[in-house]
Structure 1
């Protein structure tokens, strides 16, 4: 890893869901001497000038690069890093072509994530090794977690709640249609519903619709 910067890195966290970005922010709490969260943005543009924007693509349209392009073009964002568990080669390649400075795995422990962000801040392009399917790092959160949904199940339900068909979910997540169907069957069983309409209503009731919010000065940040 590269040399540590002289002061803490300032980071903006971006995703459509408050619970997701708050979970990431909590991961950094014990590393406040190295990473300071400036703001958390759910469907809001980055306003603070920050060293790094960490774009968590939970339930984002991963094959639609508009949001990533907007972040890269924002002069307040010195560097942009994608934070994901989806390492399909096309997604990694497209992110780099759009100007992302890092593509980091959500399975990284907090200490490794912080070190990777320091390397990005030092001028390196950092791409995590594609992990075997594993649990997300300790401390992360997502809608439906307290109801027993895994991170990936939660993402599938969020995309359904947003109105996507099975075919669209498969395209957006780079999963096969059969894999998507398997996830949906498991989700229905876990949340106790028998139809797509019931699943969408359950999702709306339990926080699966995107938020529109900005949280500034996270725990004393700039």
Structure 2
């Protein structure tokens, strides 16, 4: 990895869920001499020029990577990096085909994530090795975490709250239908519901619908 640049890298965080992005932003706070979160965008386009856009894949339609292509084409985004737990080969190839400059695992410790972003900023294309096992993202947040939902369960519940069928969820996450059903059953037990309708209502009440915000100048950033 290259040495740290003389001034901090500016990063825009993109996803549809505020709680997810704010969790990532907080993770970067102790590295403000190296990475500054310039803006946080929920369902809104990047507006100010930034060194890197970090596209968090939580509850995004990962089988359709048009969003990555749009970000790569955005002149305000100098480089685009996907931040994900899903390392299905088709998703990796799609990200490459759409021009992503990095594909980084959410299991990376913050220090390694910062170093990877610095490498991307220096001109490298950085794709993490697929993570072993099913470790959760390091030091982050997601809807339902306080209720005991894992990141996978939370993502699947978010997709259900968006109106996706089990087949849709399996296709979008590249999980088998049986695995999706297993996550759904586990999530239902944890949130105390017994039907899809109850789960959707619970999801709406607990922040599982996409947000529509743009946070500029995170903690005094540019």
**TM-score bracket for this pair, using the shorter chain length:** over 0.9
* 8 Å CA contact 2:158, 2:208 repeated in 1: yes
Question: Which residue does the alignment assign to 1:189?
Answer: 189
Matches within 5 A, 1:23-38: 23-38=23-38
Query: How far apart in 1 are the matches of 2:92 and 2:137?
Result: 20
Query: How far apart in 2 are the matches of 1:73 and 1:133?
Result: 34
Question: Which residue does the alignment assign to 1:214?
Answer: 214
Query: How far apart in 1 are the matches of 2:93 and 2:4?
Result: 28
Count of paired positions = 222
Question: Which residue does the alignment assign to 1:205?
Answer: 205
Question: Which residue does the alignment assign to 1:13?
Answer: 13
Query: How far apart in 2 are the matches of 1:135 and 1:22?
Result: 20
* 8 Å CA contact 1:110, 1:137 repeated in 2: no
Matches within 5 A, 1:64-213: 64-213=64-213
Q: Please, which runs of 5 or more residues in structure 2 have no aligned partner? A: none
Query: How far apart in 2 are the matches of 1:182 and 1:145?
Result: 18
Query: How far apart in 2 are the matches of 1:136 and 1:124?
Result: 26
Tell me the CA shift for residue 190 of structure 1: 0.6
Tell me the CA shift for residue 3 of structure 1: 2.7
Question: Which residue does the alignment assign to 2:40?
Answer: 40
Query: How far apart in 1 are the matches of 2:54 and 2:144?
Result: 22
Q: Please, which runs of 5 or more residues in structure 1 have no aligned partner? A: none
Query: How far apart in 2 are the matches of 1:142 and 1:104?
Result: 18
TM-score (norm 1): 0.99
RMSD: 0.7
Tell me the CA shift for residue 135 of structure 1: 2.6
TM-score (norm 2): 0.99
Query: How far apart in 1 are the matches of 2:112 and 2:17?
Result: 24
Tell me the CA shift for residue 136 of structure 1: 2.8
